[in-house]
Structure 1
Amino acid sequence: MKKVFLGLFIVLFLAGSVWIGYYFYKKSNADPVVYKTEKPFYTNIVKKTVATGSIVPRKEIQIKPQVSGIVEELYVEAGQTVRAGQTIAKIRIVPNMVSVNNAETGVQTARIAFEQAKRELARQKMLYDQKVIAEQEYNKFVLDYKLRREDLTSAENNRQLVKSGTSRRTGGSNIIISTVDGMVLDVPVKVGASVIERNNFNEGTTIAAVADMKSLIFEGKIDESEVGKLREGMDLNLTIGAIEDKVFKAKLEYIAPKGVLEEGAVKFQVKAQVMLQPGDFLRAGYSANADIVLDQKQNVLAIKEGLLQFGKKGKDSVFVEVETGPQQFKKKLVKTGLSDGINIQVVDGLQANDKVKVVEAASPDEEKKAS
């Protein structure tokens, strides 16, 4: 039994010796690590932030009816340009029977009073012509006749309004007109649809949405970490997903004084006037991104930000490794400036002809050794 264990031990020992010898042989013949280098370069560095939002009209008007009823005619459609006062739709009034009955009663009452005043005026005129009554007494009956006539006309107009929404004196309240010049963005109702008038208790049914598409603004939101760097009047570059290869200019004109919590971050609303050029046409609701330039440097010495290395003291020990000989490097402290996330300005510590070591990502084993 002892011979079996002894033989097994000898075999394992020989196998381990062979593996260790092979490992050191391969390690001694491994290719040496060759580090790449990059030179500093002169470039323009722009630090900017991006606000996401959409293009909306500055003024969008909801056209609503003054009477309830059924849409009888529609004279416009989305995309059509209208003028202020132009007819948009016609509403057919569905009369309320109680209101109609009251209006009919009012007409009959006014007509009876008018007929009575008319007969009385005729009798008094005969007396006046015969010099039986004075002119002042006669004028009282003339005035009463005219008042009764106006009452009858008013009652008839009221009856016509209740039944059809129109009157001879005031025109048609069932005719819907545009209140502004602009383009019809939407007509949410169809012929035959029921609509409700606007009043103190109901905002009413929207017949059409009209907006001036020549005056557009960008509405977006920006993170609280960047809002303190903004100021009104800053220039924005708008990129619209639906329009490729074109950048629209805009000017910041509003920054919300109060932020809103969205998805765990506080964001502030911003608005910017879109500077349209002749021939430009944007549709309302286009999604857009606004590039806002916070700071920029022209023609400064810079390196790739990934070439920087940091010591244990953080920003106080920012350095790079500069080549002093073939694959020989020396640590050199640098002072950095503006960064755009890819390139970073080098204020001090490097020359344009220096070769900076490209730091490869360390493996987990190497990180443990370094620590």
Structure 2
Amino acid sequence: MRKLVKILLVIVLLGLLAGSLYFLVQRNQQPPEQFETESVIRGTVINKAVATGSIVPRKEVVIKSRVSGVVEKLHVQAGEIVESGALLAKIKVVPDAVALNSARAQYEMAKISASNAELELNRRRKLYREKLISKDEYEKYRFDFDMKLEEQESSLSNLELIRDGGNGASGSVSNEIRSTVIGMVLDVPVKQGDTVTETNNFNEGTTIASIADMTDMIFTGTVDESEVGRIEEGMALKISIGAIEDKFFEGVLEFISPKGVKTDGAVLFEIRAAIVADSDSTIRAGYSANADIVLDRRDNVLTLDERALRFSDDGVFVLEQLGEQEFARQEVTTGLSDGIRIEIIEGVAEGATVRVP
């Protein structure tokens, strides 16, 4: 019995010893290192500059009031198409009290002067018919009457303009705001009852409406100073609009500003580009957009992820995979890059697998 117990103890001890040895070996054994790899494939590399901006009409006209007063009635709203000369709004004139009193006084004085000139002309006409005065003297009084009559009409027109905002005799009504162009009404920033001021040399005046030709849209944006020297007018653009997903619009660069503007520490240059019309999509003014300006491109060339490149004093190289976890240094010649993938001119073949650090 004792002999059997001793044998069992020896077996248990040997088992524990074997388990401990196996555990220590497994703990000290390092797993094989795994490396990320990339393949050399054919593709297109496009080097481009990116401009951020928005879509705006090429021609947008702001219609302002020519008189001060209160908006009596609006005849249009945003989104309507109007013709040139269409009535947009009517302004109820609130005349300046001092100017109105002055105009009334001038008109009354002009009426009195015209009336006195008419009486004097009638007296001189009678004397002329009786041949008591010469024709030249008579004509002088007739001319004076005509001048006084003209002054009366002029003062009346001025009074009507200040009081009513228009001249009934000439048919020109300045309190009627009319469109000067054909297009779509983009915005009517005033409401009925709002107070408006006239536009003059000292005052910009109140905007009644903005009108634009929505069939001729352009992209306006900015590019960084590091890229502006690489672009030129006439270059093609691919424009993506935030509100229209999965669609690009063609454009042609028309303008590059000769002067940069410093914004948040960066110098930006304004650019403008014509958008090729697309009847299938509705483009609205103010859409945010990005434009890719193609600087250079390579089609059907060998390309590789730029992360796989390594640099030394001798040049650029990659670690090409020869076998399982086996890599060899291979010098390469690179070409155009788009910031993610780069053109491989020579050094490795299509389909080669290289290590990515």
**Structure 2 residue 305 is the aligned partner of structure 1 residue 304:** yes
Percent identity, aligned pairs only, is 46
1:294 matches 2:295: yes
Counterpart for residue 112 of structure 2: 112
Give the whole-Å Cα distance in 2 for the aligned partners of 1:152 and 1:35: 99
Q: Is the 8 A contact 2:67 2:175 kept in 1?
A: yes
- Please give the alpha-carbon distance, in whole angstroms, between the structure 2 residues aligned to 1:352 and 1:105: 96
Q: CA 1:327/1:112 → structure 2, altered by over 3 Å: closer, same or farther?
A: closer
Cα distance per residue 1:248-287 (max 9 Å; x no partner): 1111111222222223322222111112134543111100
Report SS of the residue matched to 1:258.
strand
SS at match of 1:51: strand
Q: 2:127, 2:93 → 1: CA distance? A: 49
The answer to whether structure 1 residue 233 and structure 2 residue 234 are counterparts is yes
- For residues 224 and 274 of structure 1, what CA distance do their matches in structure 2 show? 23
Query: CA contact under 8 A between 1:35 and 1:357: conserved in structure 2?
Result: no
Q: Tell me the CA shift for residue 358 of structure 1.
A: 3.1
Q: 1:138 to 1:27 in 2, by over 3 A?
A: same
Q: Distance in 2 between matches of 1:117 and 1:264?
A: 75
SS in 2 for 1:358: strand
Look up the match of 2:195.
194
Q: Aligned match of 1:335 in 311, 323, 333?
A: 333
* Residue 321 of structure 1, CA deviation: 2.0
Give the 3 Å change call, closer, same or farther, for CA 211–19 of structure 1 in structure 2. Answer: farther
CA separation in 2, counterparts of 1:139 and 1:103? Answer: 30
Q: What residue number does 2:217 align with?
A: 216
Q: Secondary structure at the match of 1:144?
A: helix
Instruction: Name 1:4's counterpart in structure 2.
Output: none
- In 2, the alpha carbon distance for the partners of 1:76 and 1:179 equals 14
CA offsets per residue over residues 182-232 of structure 1, 9 Å max, x none? 211111111111111112221111111112222222111112222221111
Distance 1:34 1:103, change over 3 A: closer
Q: Equivalent residue of 1:62, what SS?
A: strand
TM-score normalised by L of structure 1: 0.84
Q: Partner letter of residue 100 of structure 1?
A: L
Q: Is 1:358 matched up with 2:345?
A: no
Q: Which amino acid aligns with 2:230?
A: K
- Tell me, in whole angstroms, the C-alpha distance in 2 between the residues paired with 1:103 and 1:128: 36
1:323 to 321, 324, 331: 321
TM-score (norm 2): 0.87
Superposed CA deviations along residues 285-318 of structure 1, whole A, max 9, x for unmatched, are: 100011111110011112222222334x3xx432
Instruction: Sort the Cα spacing of 1:190 and 1:34 in 2 relative to 1 into closer, same or farther, 3 A.
Output: closer
Q: How does 1:6-21 map to 2 (within 5 A)?
A: none
Change (3 A) 1:136 1:318: same
What value does the CA root-mean-square deviation take over the aligned residues?
2.2
Match of 2:201, SS state, is coil
Give the match for residue 5 of structure 1.
Answer: none
Q: How many residues align?
A: 338
Inter-partner Cα distance in structure 2 for 1:145 and 1:307:
99
Q: Alpha-carbon deviation of 1:37?
A: 5.1
**Alpha carbons 1:321, 1:330 under 8 Å: kept:** yes
Alpha-carbon deviation of 1:43?
A: 1.3
- Whole-angstrom distance in 1 between the partners of 2:322 and 2:88: 81
Which letter does structure 2 place at the counterpart of 1:263?
A: D
* Alpha-carbon separation, structure 2, partners of 1:148 and 1:105: 15
Name the SS of the counterpart of 2:258 in structure 1: coil
The one-letter amino acid of 2:123's match is R
* Pair 1:94 & 2:91 matched: no
Structure 2's unaligned 5+ residue stretches are 1-18
SS in 1 for 2:252: strand
Is contact 1:234-1:251 (8 Å) kept? yes
1:184 aligns with 185
Quote the Cα distance in structure 2 between the aligned partners of 1:99 and 1:326.
97
Cα 1:97/1:326, change in 2 over 3 Å: closer
AA in 1 matched with 2:183: G
Taking structure 1 as reference, are residues 301 and 136 closer, same or farther at Cα in structure 2, changes over 3 Å only?
A: same
